[in-house]
């Protein structure tokens, strides 16, 4: 039966067209944005997970920057300590030369004084971002960010590695620091004094002008002790630098892994969506033609009245 009031074919074609248009709109949105899950209404669970992980990844980016800052501080300290070791080795060489009777001790002392001043200059210059690890107050400490952690209970934390300063003769700083934070050349590896035949000397205050050969020999042991302590400190700094480098690499890999994981949850499959888009566009054209045919069938009723 043909009715001019109810066109079932047109209603069916229109319903199909609406469904196709809805699917086409969804597919076009995914193609243009690249996301399968762009908002919570697309998939609440996946959107929530992705949002949380993106937040964590942003925090990891800040941790990576902090690790870079920490690495720069440690590298600055290591460079200063390494150069200081070279200078102290030169002091040791001068003392060996001074044991020869024909060598003027006053002349050697003039060279030693220049090397001692160079040590102080290195210590004062080894500063990065307002921190100097070459001179510090005894018991003070510095820290570098090492990791960002999300615990099972949902809380987050930033972990750091601490480095404590020891201003003793076998400590880990070249010199100490006074209450005002200024360099104190009377403490630290190079500033701590030891007795040599009734007179106290440190590597920094060493004066061989009036020393005997026996005194110079004891001075060499003083310098060698400082070298041992400085070498140990350089090893500690090198180990810390290696750990920071490893953590930096891990954070970088972790960020890539999180990006990949989030992508698997919310990214659109562009090959699939491209094929779907073409199919839906074809279906849309056919649905429009079907609707046109269904609508035109009512026009045929006019022929009955001619």
pLDDT reported for residue 21:
79
pLDDT reported for residue 124:
96
Residue 204: name the closest of 135, 263, 255 by CA: 135
pLDDT reported for residue 178:
93
Q: Which residue has the higher pLDDT, 48 or 7?
A: 48
pLDDT reported for residue 218:
95
Segment among 20-24, 134-138, 245-249, 253-257 with least mean pLDDT: 20-24
pLDDT reported for residue 158:
82
Whether 84 shows a pLDDT value over 90: the answer reads yes
Q: What is the pLDDT of residues 107-120, one digit of tens each?
A: 999 999 999 999 99
Residue range 192-199: mean pLDDT, rounded: 94
Q: In sequence order, what DSSP letters do the residues of the chain get, joined into one string?
A: ---SS--HHHHHHHHHHHHHHHHHHHHHHHHHH-BS--STTT-HHHHHHHHHHHHHHHHHHHHHHHHHHHHHHHHHHHHHHHHHHHHHHHHHHHHHHHTSTTS-HHHHHHHHHHHHHHHHHHHHH-EETTEESSEE-TT-EEEEEEEEEE-TTS-EEEEEEEEE---STTSS-SEEE-TTS-EETTSSTTT--EEETTEEE-TTT---TT--HHHHHHHHHHHHHHHHHHHHHHHHHHHHHHHHHHHHHHHHHHHHHHHHHHHHHHB--HHHHHHHHHHHHHHHHHHHHHHHHHHHHHHGGGGGG-
Mean of the per-residue pLDDT values of the chain: 87
Distance of alpha carbon 207 from alpha carbon 256, whole angstroms: 58
CATH number of 44-266: 1.20.1330.10
Whether 303 shows a pLDDT value over 80: the answer reads no
Q: Which residue has the higher pLDDT, 150 or 74?
A: 74
Whether 281 shows a pLDDT value over 60: the answer reads yes
Distance of alpha carbon 281 from alpha carbon 36, whole angstroms: 19
Segment among 55-59, 139-143, 150-154, 203-207 with least mean pLDDT: 150-154
Residue range 115-127: mean pLDDT, rounded: 97
pTM: 0.77
**How would residue 152 be classed by pLDDT, with cut points 50, 70 and 90?**
confident
Q: What is the pLDDT of residues 160-185, one digit of tens each?
A: 888 999 999 999 999 999 999 999 99
Whether 301 shows a pLDDT value over 80: the answer reads no
Whether 98 shows a pLDDT value over 70: the answer reads yes
Whether 230 shows a pLDDT value over 80: the answer reads yes
Residues 6+ positions from 182 with CB-CB distance below 8 Å: none
Residue range 68-75: mean pLDDT, rounded: 93
Q: Which residue has the higher pLDDT, 95 or 58?
A: 95
Whether 10 shows a pLDDT value over 90: the answer reads no
């Amino acid at each position: 039966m043909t009715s001019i009031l109810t066109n079932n074919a047109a209603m069916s074609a229109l319903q199909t067209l609406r469904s196709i248009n809805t699917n086409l709109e969804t597919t076009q949105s995914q193609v243009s944005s690249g996301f399968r899950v762009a908002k919570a209404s697309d998939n609440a669970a996946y959107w929530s997970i992705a949002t949380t992980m993106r937040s964590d990844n942003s925090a990891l980016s800040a941790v990576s920057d902090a690790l870079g800052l920490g690495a720069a501080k440690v590298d600055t300290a290591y460079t200063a300590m390494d150069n200081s070791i070279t200078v102290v080795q030169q002091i040791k060489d001068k003392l060996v030369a001074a044991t020869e009777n024909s060598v003027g001790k006053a002349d050697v002392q003039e060279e030693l004084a220049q090397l001692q001043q160079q040590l102080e200059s290195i210590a004062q210059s080894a500063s990065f971002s307002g921190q100097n690890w070459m001179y510090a107050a005894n018991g003070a400490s510095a820290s570098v960010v090492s990791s960002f952690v999300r615990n099972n209970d949902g809380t987050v934390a930033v972990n750091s590695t601490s480095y404590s300063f020891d201003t003793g003769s076998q400590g880990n700083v070249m010199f100490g620091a006074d209450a005002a934070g200024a360099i104190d050349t009377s403490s630290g590896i190079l500033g701590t004094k030891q007795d040599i035949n009734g007179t106290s000397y440190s590597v920094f205050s060493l004066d061989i002008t009036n020393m005997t050969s026996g005194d110079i020999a004891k001075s060499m042991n003083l310098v060698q002790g400082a070298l041992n302590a400085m070498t140990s400190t350089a090893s500690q700094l090198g180990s810390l630098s290696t750990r920071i480098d490893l953590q930096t690499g891990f954070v970088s890999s972790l960020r890539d892994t999180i990006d990949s994981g989030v992508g698997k949850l919310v990214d659109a499959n562009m090959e699939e969506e491209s094929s779907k888009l073409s199919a839906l566009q074809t279906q849309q054209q056919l649905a429009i033609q079907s609707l046109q045919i269904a609508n035109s069938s009512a026009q045929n009723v006019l022929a009955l009245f001619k």
